[in-house]
Structure 1
Amino acid sequence: MKKKFKIDWILTVILVVALVLYGYGTWKTGSANDFYTSAITSMTQSFKNFWYASFDPAGYITVDKPPVALWFMAISAKILGVSNFSVVLPSVLFGVGSVYLMYRLIKPKFGVTAGRIAALVITITPIFVADSRTNNMDTTLVYFLLLSIWMLQKAVDKKNLFWLMGSFATIGFSFNIKMLQAFMIVPAMLLFYWLSSQQTWKKKIFHTSLAMISLIVLTLSWPLSVDMTSANNRPYEGGSQHNSVMELAFGYNGTQRLLGQTTGTGGAFGGMGNKNSKNGKTSQPSQNKSRNKQMPPNIGKNNRMKMPTNGKRPGNMKQGHGGMNGGGGAFNIGTAGPLRLFQSSLGPQISWLLPFAIIGMIAAFIVYADPRRKWYQFTKKQKQVVLWTGWLIPVAGFFSVASFFHPYYTIMLAPAIAALSGIGLVAMLKALKLFNNKDLRFYLLPTAIITTAGLQAWYVSSYYIWLSVLILIVGITTSIGIIFIRSKKAIKSLIIAGLISIAVAPSFWSLTPTLAKESAAIPTAGPDLLSGGNNGGGIGSGSVNNQLLSYLQKNQGNAKYLFATADSGTAAPYIIKTKQSVMAMGGFNGTDPAMSLSKFKKLVKSGQIKYYLDAGKSGSGNNTIVNWIKKHAKKVNANKYGGNQNSNAQKMPGNMKSGNLPNNKRSNMMGGPQNSGNTLYDLSNIYK
């Protein structure tokens, strides 16, 4: 007989909450990450742009990530039109889908309570909410990684080779979402399969080999198709130094994330944590000292935050403790070390329930052990714990030592924390029931509650002292009550109160991006959003100088490009608004060697480029071209095109707002050079 389908109404409520948190107000937000929105705009115009993830409609240069996540966004934009809602919609849906997958992964193995808790925890993880409201790739990546785990469990349960190959093929597919980040869970998957599979060791070797082949094939299919295509027939691969996807994957998006950024941006970023940093300040690698002068002066600072109107910081907010840094600066990742994830730079985004998950992990290993077996002979449930522990530890280890990443990348930890919280809670409740207060296992749940409450109280103290005190009081009181009170009814109430006390703060932090209608290039969560206004824009100003645009369109003639400029931050708003080609010569930061002087001269001579917009940005990697332009081209009178870019700013199409912060505060907070004004050059008379 087939099992009768039943609706889990609590799960349904959780999914509705997730949909509201991730999706509400996304139609009213700014242009999200306009670096990617520009690419999506271009990708809807031709299959070639779609396949390569071209940043501009002319197919000159790509974004610095693979195209798969952008494919979903481009399809959405093609159907609904380019708007913030259409480009963010896939992330919203993948976010909700991830919540459902968490439930489906945990419930069959540990029961409905564990499944619901896991689904709830990932739903209210602040950075998961913030990231699901953007057109970044991370939420899409998490969904497909969870899907690969689901397929792996199927492979083990059904002893099915094709599920196993599909699982690892999905990892290869995920590589083409955000490259090597997808491989972070592969060791956990291999370990779990070898521990859990009932096949003989010879079959395990054979099956694992086939699985790895499927991974390699799906991993390399797109990158090799690009690298084997003539450079003359495709866009330049943005972010690479030699026009190669493989170099991009293993360099800029690979080793440089761990060791620190050294190419593609003009040196190491001044806000990135490293092992030599103290008090949140980061020393630059010696090999980059000669290039440091090119770097923007305020990278790594939290430029997004506004203080309340009374001029005071909330609570006892101090620079470096929760508040200013807790808002999530672009490269504010704290000090490298084993406790980095608990520091105030990253903790308020991801680590609210990390202590609970860690203690829950330990509890699950202990409670689900079979005393009749040797210590290394794991039970089925212990093997599931190994899987999620294998996800948590390597990923946490990477973020603890890596030198170059954005705080929102820590979304990779959310599934493991959610899974171990759900599994761990059920295990700790079981320990509380089976053992008395003379057994150390009895104290696991009270310890988890009081430890988690203490960490949360520290995070909250930067904003709301009263809430910090309340969390501590409830956490301590309920933990003591659980230990000493004998009434089962009273203990149940105390447990519920204790769990609610450690869910309140992360729930509120998760709500802030929704209340602020935030959809930012650097997603973050926290009360700063409520006092600081909607950040709105992405890598550039998110605004267009309407007078400049009118002048360029009137005088563009037959030129292929509306204008050329140094970097994507300046070009993106104009591409989104006009759907015309704008050449970002050096890609994202203006430092990609995508254009040579001789080639640029040919484009000018043939009339394909008529104007160059100098946005007054430092750090350009095309100084030779810029110097040639300044020497030979004619400056256009500023009165003809409106001068500074902030003037005559106009909203983006499809409810894409320009954001509330002035350009010199919002521009390039992802690491781009700083804007000090615009100068337009007319190149048309150089060869006359």
Structure 2
Amino acid sequence: MTATLTAPARPEVSTSDSATTPRWVRPAFWGLLLATAVLYLWNLGASGYANSFYAEAAQAGSMDWKAWFFGSLDPGNTITVDKPPAALWLMGLSGRIFGFSGWSMLVPQALLGVGSVALLYAAVRRWSGPGAGLLAGAALAVTPVAALMFRFNNPDALLTFLLVLGAYCVVRALEKASPKWLAFAGVAIGFGFLTKMLQAFLVLPAFALVYLLAAPAGLGRRLLHLLGAAVAVVVSAGWFIAVADLWPASSRPYIGGSTDNTVLDLALGYNGLGRIFGGNGGGMGGGMGANVGFGGETGLGRMFGESFGTEVSWLLPAALLGLVAGLWFTRGRPRADRTRAALVLWGGWLLVTALVFSYMEGTVHPYYAVALAPSITALVAIAGRELWRGRAHLAPRLVLAAMVAVTAVWDYILLDRSSSWLPVIRWTILVLGILVATGIAVGVHEFRRVTRAVAVAAVAVGLSGTLAFGVATAAVPHSGSIPVSGPATGMGFGMPEGEAPSADLVALLRSSTEQWAAASHGTRGAASLQLSSGKSVMPIGGFNGGDPAPTLAQFQQYVAEGRIGYYVGEGGGMRGGPGGGGSEIAEWVQANFTATTVGGQTVYDLTP
């Protein structure tokens, strides 16, 4: 055992060694990308506008450049989404090129998924060979939460892509202690900040640790390179904060979710410490305890619980087992050993992110788990490959058998949570998993004719559960503010989507020539009105109606200037939540304008 697993690791082939690449690698790689594209692009428009909150912002960005740059919810630039706009930049540009629709909005998300699979393959392959790279990429592609988010319009698709890109750059940087590649990793994470703020920084401890530990250079050079990468992170993340916060507030939209109309407050408050410790920001509350849509109870079991379990934990027990065993077996290797460096890189990513998600007291949703998927699948592929290479020895063989067995048992438990859905799958996985694990443990591979069959069976058992649930996720439409994976069609949790307005109301709004065809409380009603009519609709108070944008005085001025066509009542949202002026605006409109009914909804004509 020691002779096999403590010798310095040697990659089977680098991506640059095309002359020595086995013939099967290239068609297998392109086949993986093709299958991933089919999984993510097939019937993509079935989910419609998916999350209407981000859909209305993507639509606004396809109509107005200022709205595109700031991530405004409406082309009139009342207020932004409560996230930075990087993901909306891609969706808005797609809408401008192809015409805005649910399909054009979601295509960039699906392509980001294909790109993430390709990058993960490339990163794992460089040190662990093409087989491990293909396994990691395939496992990522069929992870249920990945199949969900790469077909959805939340920012997590771009965030995941940028995190994997950053990890790939770190792998390249470690090979020759390259400050250039390390700086590229910093840029990727900086733009990750512009996608989902501080969540992007959760991988930085792992990136810094592995470079400090394993880069083939002196300590002084390693520290200097890390300093340069830190500067790259700050510059690539900070430029937008500087531009947005220095821009005159009177000529840009209100920063949704902030308490003082600044991006910096949004990053440190609602999307920063508020997420970790709970509390308020921009009218938004903290977590909801045991509520499944908000993460369930905090603690080490959260990633395996009802909220996160079926999203991402299918291979998590095997990944943790492989990480511990891999670090133990490589403990005596040289400082720059690549296998151990890979374990530290992906293991650090997994542990830090999972622990933060597990103990967050603020708002956390199940789909956040997509950020864990690349690290889990990479660890399983890397550890599985190394343990299989050491199968002639009892200890690695037993660990590998345990990884197969625990995956089969855990898949059975997860599938049993949807007990009415194809029960034969969970029983088949359980039985075959135990048989394959037993075969590995007793050394059936020593019969050369079955060696390859055992390896294929181990991979098949390991991927069967997540594959079945991932394909089932991609096969049905999902919508709403908190989507969840699985075979059930539905809206998930959270704020429901607004009902589609009547044809009469849509026609009325389309006839408007004002800057805002209408105003409505929150985004639930405003989004449906704007998406249906293609006209700018003011979302009073932002996401849940709680932001002070616009104030009553501003709203009165807009009406006096003839810039708002109609006020649509009962538009959803929390009318005048904490810090908002929605109630005051509603009362003022009701007191000064006459109500009519259009298509079952109360409408006030605000034109002079």
| TM-score when normalising by structure 1 | 0.80
Structure 2's unaligned 5+ residue stretches are 1-15, 577-581
1:345 aligns with 2:303: no
Select the residue among 507, 515, 522 that pairs with 1:550: 507
SS of alignment partner, residue 56 of structure 1 = coil
Tell me how far 1:552 sits from its aligned partner: 4.3
1:11 aligns with 2:29: yes
Tell me how far 1:481 sits from its aligned partner: 2.7
1:612 aligns with 2:567: yes
**Alpha-carbon distance in 2 for matches of 1:536, 1:345:** 11
Q: Which residue identity is paired with 2:507?
A: S
1:43 aligns with 2:2: no
1:239 aligns with 2:257: yes
8 Å CA contact retained: 1:54, 1:63: yes
Q: Which residue identity is paired with 1:441?
A: P
Provide the residue aligned with 1:513 in structure 2: 473
RMSD, aligned α-carbons: 2.4
1:572 aligns with 2:532: no
Q: Which residue identity is paired with 2:360?
A: A
Provide the residue aligned with 1:418 in structure 2: 377
Q: Which residue identity is paired with 1:508?
A: A
Q: Which stretch shifts more, 609-618 or 505-514?
A: 609-618
Higher normalized contact order (CA 8 Å, seq sep 6+, divided by chain length): 1
Q: Which residue identity is paired with 2:314?
A: W
Alignment of 1:265-664 (within 5 A): 265=283, 267-268=285-286, 272-273=288-289, 280=290, 300=291, 330-331=293-294, 333-370=295-332, 377=335, 379-403=337-361, 404-433=363-392, 435-436=393-394, 440-462=395-417, 463=419, 464-484=422-442, 486=444, 487-488=446-447, 489-490=449-450, 492-518=452-478, 521-529=481-489, 540-541=497-498, 543-554=500-511, 556=512, 559-615=514-570, 617=572, 619-621=574-576, 622-636=582-596, 638=597, 641-643=598-600
SS of alignment partner, residue 45 of structure 2 = coil
Provide the residue aligned with 1:58 in structure 2: 76
Cα deviation, 1:46-88, whole Å, max 9, x if unaligned, reads 3222211121111111111111121111111111111111111
Name the CA shift for 1:250/1:150 in 2 (closer, same or farther; >3 Å).
Answer: same
Select the residue among 231, 241, 245 that pairs with 1:213: 231
**Alpha-carbon distance in 1 for matches of 2:171, 2:501:** 50
Select the residue among 160, 180, 188 that pairs with 1:170: 188
**Alpha-carbon distance in 1 for matches of 2:279, 2:191:** 26
Select the residue among 581, 584, 603 that pairs with 1:680: 603
Q: Which residue identity is paired with 2:55?
A: T
**Alpha-carbon distance in 2 for matches of 1:538, 1:18:** 30
1:117 aligns with 2:117: no
Q: Which residue identity is paired with 1:642?
A: G
8 Å CA contact retained: 2:177, 2:216: yes
Cα deviation, 1:429-450, whole Å, max 9, x if unaligned, reads 12322x13xxx43310111111
Name the CA shift for 1:94/1:209 in 2 (closer, same or farther; >3 Å).
Answer: same
Cα deviation, 1:114-156, whole Å, max 9, x if unaligned, reads 1111111101101001100012211111111211222222222
**Alpha-carbon distance in 2 for matches of 1:153, 1:483:** 33
SS of alignment partner, residue 191 of structure 2 = helix
Q: Which residue identity is paired with 1:481?
A: G
**Alpha-carbon distance in 2 for matches of 1:618, 1:36:** 15
**Alpha-carbon distance in 2 for matches of 1:498, 1:197:** 34
Name the CA shift for 1:73/1:610 in 2 (closer, same or farther; >3 Å).
Answer: closer
Q: Which residue identity is paired with 1:398?
A: V
Q: Which stretch shifts more, 101-110 or 510-519?
A: 510-519
Q: Which has the higher helix share?
A: 2
**Alpha-carbon distance in 1 for matches of 2:36, 2:589:** 51
Structure 1's unaligned 5+ residue stretches are 274-279, 281-299, 301-328, 644-677
**Alpha-carbon distance in 1 for matches of 2:284, 2:124:** 45
Provide the residue aligned with 1:654 in structure 2: none
Tell me how far 1:612 sits from its aligned partner: 1.5
Identity across matched positions, percent: 31
**Alpha-carbon distance in 1 for matches of 2:563, 2:506:** 17
Name the CA shift for 1:132/1:536 in 2 (closer, same or farther; >3 Å).
Answer: farther
SS of alignment partner, residue 580 of structure 1 = coil
8 Å CA contact retained: 2:521, 2:569: yes
Provide the residue aligned with 2:197 in structure 1: 179
Q: Which residue identity is paired with 1:205?
A: L
**Alpha-carbon distance in 2 for matches of 1:32, 1:617:** 18
Name the CA shift for 1:499/1:568 in 2 (closer, same or farther; >3 Å).
Answer: same
SS of alignment partner, residue 470 of structure 1 = helix
Cα deviation, 1:171-230, whole Å, max 9, x if unaligned, reads 112211111111111111111111122222222232222221121111110011001111
1:254 aligns with 2:216: no
Q: Which stretch shifts more, 607-616 or 75-84?
A: 607-616
SS of alignment partner, residue 353 of structure 1 = helix
Cα deviation, 1:19-61, whole Å, max 9, x if unaligned, reads 1111111134311222222112221223222211121111111
Q: Which residue identity is paired with 2:437?
A: S
**Alpha-carbon distance in 1 for matches of 2:281, 2:584:** 18
Select the residue among 12, 29, 34 that pairs with 2:52: 34
Q: Which stretch shifts more, 158-167 or 132-141?
A: 158-167
Aligned length: 579
| TM-score when normalising by structure 2 | 0.90
Tell me how far 1:518 sits from its aligned partner: 4.2
Provide the residue aligned with 2:7 in structure 1: none
Q: Which residue identity is paired with 2:518?
A: F
Provide the residue aligned with 1:309 in structure 2: none
Q: Which residue identity is paired with 2:468?
A: F
**Alpha-carbon distance in 2 for matches of 1:186, 1:540:** 36
Q: Which stretch shifts more, 445-454 or 605-614?
A: 605-614
Tell me how far 1:504 sits from its aligned partner: 1.6
**Alpha-carbon distance in 2 for matches of 1:523, 1:206:** 43
Tell me how far 1:521 sits from its aligned partner: 4.6
Q: Which residue identity is paired with 1:258?
A: I
Q: Which residue identity is paired with 1:262?
A: N
**Alpha-carbon distance in 2 for matches of 1:28, 1:538:** 20
Provide the residue aligned with 1:292 in structure 2: none
Q: Which stretch shifts more, 410-419 or 444-453?
A: 444-453
8 Å CA contact retained: 1:482, 1:491: no
Q: Which residue identity is paired with 2:426?
A: S
8 Å CA contact retained: 1:130, 1:519: no
Tell me how far 1:458 sits from its aligned partner: 0.9
Tell me how far 1:586 sits from its aligned partner: 0.3
**Alpha-carbon distance in 2 for matches of 1:553, 1:536:** 32
Provide the residue aligned with 2:8 in structure 1: none
8 Å CA contact retained: 2:498, 2:527: no
**Alpha-carbon distance in 1 for matches of 2:583, 2:231:** 45
Q: Which residue identity is paired with 2:278?
A: G
Tell me how far 1:605 sits from its aligned partner: 2.2
Q: Which residue identity is paired with 1:151?
A: C
**Alpha-carbon distance in 1 for matches of 2:38, 2:533:** 32
SS of alignment partner, residue 528 of structure 1 = coil
SS of alignment partner, residue 30 of structure 2 = helix
Q: Which residue identity is paired with 2:520?
A: T
**Alpha-carbon distance in 1 for matches of 2:575, 2:100:** 30
SS of alignment partner, residue 114 of structure 2 = helix
Q: Which residue identity is paired with 1:483?
A: A
8 Å CA contact retained: 2:543, 2:573: no
8 Å CA contact retained: 2:480, 2:496: no
**Alpha-carbon distance in 1 for matches of 2:44, 2:531:** 17
Tell me how far 1:454 sits from its aligned partner: 1.3
Name the CA shift for 1:571/1:242 in 2 (closer, same or farther; >3 Å).
Answer: same
Provide the residue aligned with 1:150 in structure 2: 168
SS of alignment partner, residue 564 of structure 2 = coil
